[in-house]
């Protein structure tokens, strides 16, 4: 069973750059269409050579950026900001040769600024605001005017004002669509990154608590060894006395106590071994049905009177799973909780597919409130009067450490259904 760690936050920046490159490709295509439309349909005189050089350079730069992205080069905020600067410079150059601020598409300069405002820190946002403002100011005073072939007059004046207004309308619609699609996608990547950071912080906090619990468990194992040994000796002597006295009823109850004492000693021994040697990842590779049988046999030693029904819903050769000590304890804990609330009926279902192993455990208890279900595994919650609430907390941490998932939900007919999914070994 592998330990699947979360992806690094750099994946969000990479995804944002992919969005930016897609937006740039769409812009280049749109600019080519606009140039052809203006030249051949509107009969506007355009300097095609410098425009071709600008667009070709932008496409070459985009291909170079895409190659760096495929080579898993780290995309920093500085690199992403530089990509936006390239877009501003290229657009400013295009606008210079196509009418400057009189070009109805001049306000496309707001798109890089909107992207920076969404994804980057305030320092970059203000730098981008300065760059785009300077760029727009330059094309207000310095530009090559758009002129018609038959009317050597600057576009936007005289009878061509209607064409200018129509171009402004098209530019507005395209700007809103581009910002709604691409900027929203980049913002979604940012939200995913923030969620990932929050999950990582929660995992770090949980791991710190588990380390503290492990330290306490090791100390408790050392302290409890002697009294449990004394109890075992005394229980054995009492068993002999009851056997001689012929009190089989009391002797049967004492045997249950002895079984629980032995179970406690085995648990303490396992804790000690785990603390002194790495036992968690040293299990054997077993078919999942065989492993689950071993777990249930171990569980039935202390739960002789519990009615458990086991089902296997998949056919074919069962996949293999590592007999991990921590996973075994997690499954035992879930079964113990089910037996506590539903001793008359527990149903365990095993299933698998090409990627995952699925274990479902359902009981017929009274269920749990929505608040309790929401807190399970996140906080130390217990429905038992004397329970500490650590079992479920450790169970969830163990399953997630192995790359799996566990969730609890109430059954319609009463009781709780626990769904456990674990990745297959590769």
For residue 310, which of 324, 325, 295 has the smallest C-alpha distance?
295
The DSSP line for 57-89 is HHHHHHHHHHHHHHTT----HHHHHHHHHHHHH
325 vs 204 pLDDT, higher one: 325
User: Which is more confidently placed, 308 or 179?
Assistant: 308
Report the distance separating Cα 388 and Cα 89, nearest Å.
Answer: 63
Contact between 142 and 98 (Cβ < 8 Å)? no
User: Both tokens of residue 125?
Assistant: 């946002």
Q: Which of 146-150, 371-375, 398-402 comes out lowest in average pLDDT?
A: 146-150
- C-alpha–C-alpha distance, residues 363 and 345, integer Å: 6
Asked whether the predicted pLDDT for residue 177 surpasses 80, the reply is: no
First to last CA, the chain: 8
Pick from 90-94, 100-104, 199-203, 240-244: least confident:
199-203
Report the helix count and the strand count for the chain, using DSSP H and E.
12, 9
What pTM was computed for the model?
Answer: 0.44
Return the domain boundaries, the chain: 10-203, 206-276, 285-423
Second-level CATH architecture of 285-423: 2-Layer Sandwich (3.30)
Q: Tell me the mean pLDDT in the region 43-51.
A: 80
Nearest to 360 by CA among 311, 294, 420: 420
| Residue 313 tokens, joined | 């819903």
pLDDT per residue as tens digits for the range 371-397: 877 777 666 555 554 444 567 777 887
6 and 111 Cβ atoms separated by less than 8 Å: no
Higher pLDDT, 198 or 174: 198
Phi, psi of 370 (to 5 degrees): -65, -35
Q: Which residues contact 187 (CB under 8 A, 6 or more apart)?
A: 118, 119
């Amino acid at each position: 069973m592998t330990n699947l760690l979360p992806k690094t936050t750099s994946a969000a920046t990479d995804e944002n750059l992919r969005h930016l490159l897609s937006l740039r490709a769409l812009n280049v295509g749109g600019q080519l269409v606009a140039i052809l439309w203006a030249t051949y349909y509107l009969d506007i005189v355009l300097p095609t050579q410098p425009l071709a050089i600008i667009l070709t350079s932008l496409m070459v730069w985009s291909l170079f950026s895409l190659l760096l992205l495929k080579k898993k080069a780290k995309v920093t905020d500085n690199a992403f900001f530089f990509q936006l600067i390239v877009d501003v410079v290229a657009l400013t150059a295009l606008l210079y040769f196509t009418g400057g601020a009189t070009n109805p598409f001049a306000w496309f300069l707001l798109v890089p600024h909107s992207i920076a405002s969404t994804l980057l820190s305030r320092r970059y946002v203000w730098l981008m605001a300065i760059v785009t403002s300077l760029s727009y100011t330059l094309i207000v005073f310095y530009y090559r005017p758009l002129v018609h072939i038959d009317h050597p007059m600057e576009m936007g004046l005289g009878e061509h004002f209607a064409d200018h207004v129509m171009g402004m309308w098209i530019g507005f619609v395209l700007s809103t669509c581009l910002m709604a699609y691409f900027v929203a996608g980049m913002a979604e990547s940012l939200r995913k990154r923030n969620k990932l950071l929050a999950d990582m912080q929660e995992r770090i906090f949980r791991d710190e608590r588990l380390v503290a619990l492990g330290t306490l468990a090791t100390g408790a194992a050392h302290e409890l060894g002697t009294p449990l040994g004394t109890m075992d000796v005394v229980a054995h002597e009492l068993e002999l006395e009851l056997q001689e006295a012929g009190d089989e009823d009391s002797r049967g109850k004492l045997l249950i106590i002895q079984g629980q004492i032995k179970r406690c000693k085995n648990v303490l021994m396992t804790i000690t071994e785990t603390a002194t040697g790495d036992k968690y990842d040293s299990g054997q590779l077993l078919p999942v049905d065989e492993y689950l049988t071993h777990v249930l046999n171990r569980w039935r030693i202390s739960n002789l009177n519990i009615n458990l029904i086991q089902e296997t819903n998949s056919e074919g050769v069962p996949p293999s799973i590592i007999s991990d000590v921590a996973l075994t304890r997690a499954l035992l804990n879930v079964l113990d909780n089910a037996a506590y609330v539903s001793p008359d009926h527990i149903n365990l279902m095993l299933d698998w597919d090409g990627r995952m192993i699925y274990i479902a455990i359902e009981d017929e208890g009274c269920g749990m409130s929505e608040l309790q279900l929401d807190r399970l595994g996140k906080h130390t919650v217990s429905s038992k009067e004397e329970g500490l609430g650590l079992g479920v907390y450790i169970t969830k941490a163990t399953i997630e450490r192995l790359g799996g998932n566990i969730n609890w939900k109430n059954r319609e007919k009463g009781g709780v259904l626990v769904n456990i999914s674990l990745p297959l070994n590769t």
